[in-house]
Amino acid sequence: MVLKIIKRELTLEKACRSNGLRQSEIEGWMDELIKSGTRGLKTPSRDSQDEQTREINEMKAKIGELVLELDARKKLQALIDLEENDC
């Protein structure tokens, strides 16, 4: 509905009447949509990019730790299986 009003496919007055809404409610939604759209179009700040890079690096490090742990467990299990078969 808000997009239709912005694109002038629907009047604010008609939207209010047909949906039982106050003009101020719809205007608030329109303002929020425009603010959100503006934020979405902005280039991420350097701090935001640095934070994302830091988080990605932490996740990669954690994945590396988990892979090493999994490999160690697999090797340990293989040794256990080998011992059980020898007995």
28-59 pLDDT, tens per residue? 999 999 998 888 787 777 888 899 999 999 99
pTM across the whole model: 0.47
Give the number of domains in the chain: 2
Alpha helical stretches, state H, the chain:
2-6, 12-19, 23-41, 46-86
Domain for residue 7, yes or no? yes
Specify the pLDDT at position 54: 96
Model confidence band, residue 62 (pLDDT cutoffs 50, 70, 90): very high
Q: Which two tokens stand for residue 65?
A: 């730790």
Together in a domain, 32 and 2 = yes
Structural domain including 65 reads 52-87
- Is 47 among the domain residues? no
Alpha-carbon separation of residue 39 from 5, 36, 43, 44, 87 (angstroms): 21, 5, 9, 9, 67
